Amino acid sequence: MRYLFVFINLCIVTLAGAAQELRPVSFEASGDVMHGKMLRQDFNGNTAAIVKVKLPVQGVTFDGNLIGEPEFHTNEYWVWLEAGDDGTRMFDVACPGTETVRVVFADISPVEQLQSKTIYELRFDIPARLLSPGMDDGVTAELMKEAKKLLDQRKYAEVLAIYLPLAKRGNAAAQYYAGMALSSGNATPQQKAEGLQWLEKAADQDYYDALRWLPTAYRLGLNCPANPAKADEWKRKALAAYRRGAERGNADAQCCLGQAYLEGDGVPMDKQEARRLLRLSADQGWPLSCYWMGNMDESTDPKSALGWYRKAVAGDDCDVYNSALGLLLLTNPAVRNTAEAMRYLERAAELDKYGNFCFGVGSIYEIGDGIPADKQKAIKWYTLGASRGDASCKDRLAALR
């Protein structure tokens, strides 16, 4: 009987250890464009595929149909592998502190083998113990950037697999993203309550995204019961945190406090103080503050606005900043450049997940607003917007066809 208990205990230890091993959770084509130094030829003369392995751990090695040496880029490895008719179907990942994992693509995705000139992303459920050694603030910051992308894609389970262990270790950014993932989508009331707890933990550490979210969530009842008293409480806490951060020279805090004065949100409206704070933040390159500086300067100093919008786009290539820059270049005679304007407006439409900017670009081409009308280009952008669910794009597409 004693041997039986020893055997059972060994099994329990083994299972507990196995639960803490590295486990692949998703594999898919990223849709990113391969260019420049990313291009490598495989043994058959095809352009090799790249697998971006999301592992923020130093010293990981790979084995399989590798083409050249892998490269480590902050929080991920780029691994070039044979592609085409004889494309790679699996490869091995050896991470320090855990057993080697054989990743068979078809086991976790519809991908059977790698295609030429295609970039893929491989994600793991990463045990917290692997992240602890050597995890510095820079790597953690890069991990948090990845979280926003996963949330936008509504991959809540993947967010939790990666960030919940970090949240439990007290990382404020991870607490925010874990909280958002728990309270989003088809979350149960219990999950939403747990998500709010994580969001409040992040806010208590002066994490500005959480401080921005909580007053709005409690006021409007977003993923929680509406609670005006708690909304006011968190707004006061947020403003106090922004002031502390702004006094330390934090660009994000200066931006948040500047926006509050600009809109009279929780403080008396004061455009002079708003401009002072936003300028301090923008001078540090904070993209949202650069956008607001451009917005404030549009009517009085379009050349200054142009410079601020360019700085915003350089700091964050997002749809709103590209659209603002494009519209200024299209509509303001002092800085008009229609060819450049359409490049930025089309970029905004490409980045827009919901198709709204696609409708705007399609309308410009349909009507010929500042440029020659082009029905085929209008149809192209309406089609893209319709595929993303924009009702106006669908209506115009039906009318033009």
In whole numbers, what is the pLDDT of the chain averaged over residues? 86
255 belongs to a structural domain: no
Place of tokens 């502190």: 97
231 belongs to a structural domain: no
The rounded distance, in Å, linking the Cα atoms of 130 and 148 is 22
The rounded distance, in Å, linking the Cα atoms of 291 and 313 is 8
Averaged pLDDT for residues 47-74: 88
Q: How far apart are the first and last CA of the chain?
A: 80
Cα-Cα-Cα-Cα torsion 378, 384, 385, 391, nearest 10 degrees, comes to 90
pLDDT of 151 higher than 90? no
DSSP 342-362: HHHHHHHHHH-SSSHHHHHHH
H-run or E-run covering 26? strand 23-29
The alpha carbons of the chain give a radius of gyration, in whole angstroms, of 25
For residues 374 and 365, the answer to whether their CB atoms sit within 8 Å is: yes
**pLDDT of the residue at 139:** 38
Q: Which domain holds residue 57?
A: 20-129
How many CA atoms does the CB half-sphere of 378 hold within 13 Å?
A: 21
pLDDT tens per residue, range 332-356: 999 999 999 999 999 999 999 889 9
Q: Confidence class of residue 195 from pLDDT cuts 50, 70 and 90?
A: very high
For residues 83 and 112, the answer to whether their CB atoms sit within 8 Å is: no
Q: Tell me the CA distances in angstroms from 43 to 46, 52, 66, 67, 186, one per residue in order.
A: 7, 20, 10, 8, 47
pLDDT of 223 higher than 70? yes
**pLDDT of the residue at 65:** 92
For residues 87 and 114, the answer to whether their CB atoms sit within 8 Å is: yes
CB neighbour list of residue 286: distance below 8 Å, 6 or more residues apart: 251, 252, 254, 255, 315
Domain count, the chain: 1
302 belongs to a structural domain: no
311 belongs to a structural domain: no
Tokens describing residue 170? 């007290």
97 belongs to a structural domain: yes
Averaged pLDDT for residues 150-155: 84
Q: Which position has the higher pLDDT, 64 or 98?
A: 64
Tokens describing residue 264? 């009279």
H-run or E-run covering 239? helix 228-247
Q: 42: closest CA among 124, 121, 113, 123?
A: 113
pLDDT tens per residue, range 368-398: 988 899 999 999 999 999 999 999 999 999 9
Length of the chain: 401
Place of tokens 């083998």: 113
Tokens describing residue 56? 């923020």
The rounded distance, in Å, linking the Cα atoms of 379 and 104 is 41
pLDDT tens per residue, range 88-117: 999 999 987 778 899 999 999 999 999 999
Q: Confidence class of residue 128 from pLDDT cuts 50, 70 and 90?
A: low
Buried b (16+ CB within 10 A) or exposed e, 122-158: bbbbbbeebbeeebeeebbeebbebbeebbeeebbeb
168 belongs to a structural domain: no
Cα-Cα-Cα-Cα torsion 132, 134, 136, 142, nearest 10 degrees, comes to -80
55 belongs to a structural domain: yes
78 belongs to a structural domain: yes
Tokens describing residue 161? 């697999």
Q: Confidence class of residue 141 from pLDDT cuts 50, 70 and 90?
A: low
For residues 370 and 364, the answer to whether their CB atoms sit within 8 Å is: yes
pLDDT of 12 higher than 50? no
**pLDDT of the residue at 194:** 94
pLDDT tens per residue, range 296-345: 999 999 999 999 999 999 998 999 999 999 999 999 999 999 999 999 99
> What is the SS3 assignment for 295?
helix
The rounded distance, in Å, linking the Cα atoms of 228 and 286 is 31
For residues 111 and 28, the answer to whether their CB atoms sit within 8 Å is: yes
Q: Which position has the higher pLDDT, 125 or 253?
A: 253
**pLDDT of the residue at 227:** 95
Buried b (16+ CB within 10 A) or exposed e, 39-48: eeebeeebbb
**pLDDT of the residue at 324:** 97
